Amino acid sequence: MLSFERPVSRALVHRQSTSEVFPTDLAHIDEDRFEVALQWPRRHAFFSTSPPDSAAVAESIRQITILVCHVAYGVPLDMKFLMTGLGLDLRKNVPLAADGSALELVARVAGSSIRRSARGELRSARLDIELSHLHSVGASGHGDALVVGSTAYWRTRGAGAGATPPLDRRGPLVQASTVSRASANDVLIVQTGRSFEIDVDRGHPIFYDHLLDHIPGTALIEACKQVAQVATMCPEVDLFGFEGSFQKVVEFDQPAEVVAQISGDHGRFEIIQAGQVALTASAMLRRLKTEVR
């Protein structure tokens, strides 16, 4: 039986703050099927968990993907991860926590497209994930992981890797209220005319809960959402469905532009840095009523 008593080791989900670790246990069902227990807080400084928003689901998928690779597939902690894809689907009837209690979820995970080295070490995998509460599926998605050694990792990153980030935020940021945020620290985009650039506060307690030398993938997804909120002039818009492919890491050396095409409840996004596409994504948009954070 899965336990919800305490979070797993923070190293297994690449987090520094133990309060930001969602998984609490993992069970091996058969060769490539697993179950993961998670606990979401009743209230979170950045995510909405009741009802859950795309940011909470995306971060949960990221943590589950990394946890399963480390624990179930035996990836050593010193190996490097590159998320090459992430998808999510929020159902209309999302699970809610009972009043006064945290939300306990079970993730059913299935591994596919498994690729191993000649020595049997995991090199890449897709993990399909269903998040359930009381046997009712509330969200689903997938995480695609590429596992490489240090030399290959830095070669993949290229010349911009490890660049010193700007001392100050680029600004001017869009108004926090236009992206359903209370603080400018949670705003991730700058608007110049009809163009948007990513600008993430490196002191942000969620996206940078530990030192990183690049802009994380979950921040790129959030930036797409915020561009959609501004473009539709609806702060309550969220990513009801999202399918993203990451082509390169977004570095600190040059600005990264978010290009969006919004038509009704559909959105297509590209994030471009130095003339190279870092992310391509499609999304279904919908309004999600949550508290302003």
Q: What's the rounded Cα separation, in Å, for the pair 262 and 260?
A: 6
- Residue 64 sits in the same domain as residue 134: yes
| Domain around 217 | 160-287
Does 4 map to a domain? no
Residue 136 has pLDDT above 70, yes or no: yes
Per DSSP, the three-state class of 246 is strand
Output the CA–CA distances (angstroms, integers) from residue 209 to 19, 156, 204, 206, 248, in the order listed: 10, 24, 7, 5, 22
Above 80 in pLDDT, residue 180?
yes
pLDDT band at 97 (very low <50, low <70, confident <90, very high): low
* pTM of the predicted structure, to 2 decimals: 0.95
Q: Provide the domain count of the chain.
A: 2
- Whether residue 96 has pLDDT greater than 60: no
Would residue 2 count as lying in a domain?
no
Residues 21 and 140 in one domain: yes
- State whether 68 and 128 are in the same domain: yes
In a domain, 84, yes or no: yes
- The CATH number that applies at residue 216 is 3.10.129.10
Averaged pLDDT for residues 168-176: 87
For the ranges 77-86, 126-135, 205-214, 283-292, the lowest mean pLDDT is seen at: 283-292
CA neighbor of 252 nearest in space, from 177, 192, 170: 170
Q: How many angstroms separate the CA atoms of 145 and 113, rounded? A: 10
Q: Report how far residue 23's alpha carbon sits from residue 10's, in angstroms, rounded to the nearest whole number.
A: 9
CA distance 97 to 208: 27
Residue 145 and residue 16 share a domain: yes
How does residue 95 score in pLDDT terms, banded at 50, 70 and 90? low
